[in-house]
Amino acid sequence: MRQSLLDLIEKTIVYQYDLPNSSIGIAKTIVSVDNDQCFKSIDKNDFTEIIYNSILEYSFNEFDIENKDYDKLHYIALQNRLKFNPDLDLDQKIKYGFLGEVILFSVLYVLFKSQPLIARGYFYNPLENSETKGYDSYHLIENKNQTELWFGEVKFHKNYKTGIKSIFKNIDKAISDNYLQTNVFAISNQINNLHCKGSKIEKVIKDWEENPYLSIIDEMKQHNMKLVYPVMLLYEEDDLGFDESIKNIPKYIQEEFATSTFNISVDYSIFFILVPMKDVKTIKEEVIKWIELRKPLMS
């Protein structure tokens, strides 16, 4: 990642506290295994800059970007690495999923030190002309004793209730052996484009290709792999302030959604990354404006 973008992310998206937080009386969500983590967006323009610039790293592996013209690659990304139709009206454009996915990519990479396994842009199919399917992130942490696959999701809505409803509509499917296996199959089609060469997931895929009668899930368990499912929620800050905006999330989930039971046999974790902010709609509109103006990228 460009150092200028990395520095901007660290300066702009700032950790505040974990949930549960007894000092302010906020519990973590009823589905979270690990602690939820809460961040504040410090500057609206800088946050917009992060979204606009992160399209590049989200769409291409680092070795694809090195010594290349960033602005040209950015334009290529908008043509064939994510869904963007310049002919749609603004209200439709600000609903694009990549506006949140690029933030999830950058936060996992920079703030959680979770390396991208492969750029998400490799999974976009221009012929389908639809949002990219699968998990919203494909990241990886190689610990000495365990490989963690950070395959997450993000929702970027003005109304937090809309985002949460969308999350819980599919959460049972996302945290399941079947969906995990399907996504590993999708990664296997891009094995030559993996950013993390020599990783355990690469070995699992190659072993399966040599013997396709193997169970991918059994192989993952044999290699002590874990699914980490970070759920990022970007939403409009409550008029009562940051803490109240955070408190709304576990409270609403507790009220509206029973504790889920997930059909997954691989070791797993789930936690929320909560980022309340001001002027959600304005930020999205500004990103679209910069795209259409072809604003120069940060160097």
- C-beta separation of 287 from 48 below 8 A: yes
- Counting as low any pLDDT under 70, the low residues of the chain are 196
* Per-residue pLDDT at 279: 93
* Per-residue pLDDT at 107: 97
Dump pLDDT digits (tens) for 79-131.
Answer: 888 988 888 999 999 999 999 999 999 999 999 999 888 888 888 888 777 77
* Per-residue pLDDT at 145: 82
Question: What is the DSSP annotation of 199-223?
Answer: -HHHHHHHHHHH-TTS-HHHHHHHT
For residues 39-78, one letter each, b for 16 or more C-beta atoms within 10 angstroms of the residue's C-beta and e for the rest, the string is: bbbeebeebbbbbbbbbbbbbbbeebbeeeeeeebbebbb
CA-to-CA dists, residue 256 to 169, 233, 263, angstroms: 12, 17, 21
Which amino acid is residue 108, in one-letter code? L
Provide the pairing of β-strand 225-236 with 147-150: parallel
Domain ranges across the chain: 3-293
Helix boundaries (H) for the chain:
3-12, 44-59, 62-65, 70-80, 90-93, 98-110, 160-174, 177-188, 200-210, 216-222, 242-256, 280-293
Q: Which of 176, 186, 175 is nearest to 208 (CA)?
A: 186
Give pTM, 2 decimals. 0.93
Q: Which of 240, 229, 233, 253 is nearest to 27 (CA)?
A: 253
Dump pLDDT digits (tens) for 144-154.
Answer: 788 999 999 99
CA distance 1 to 234: 22
CA distance 44 to 285: 12
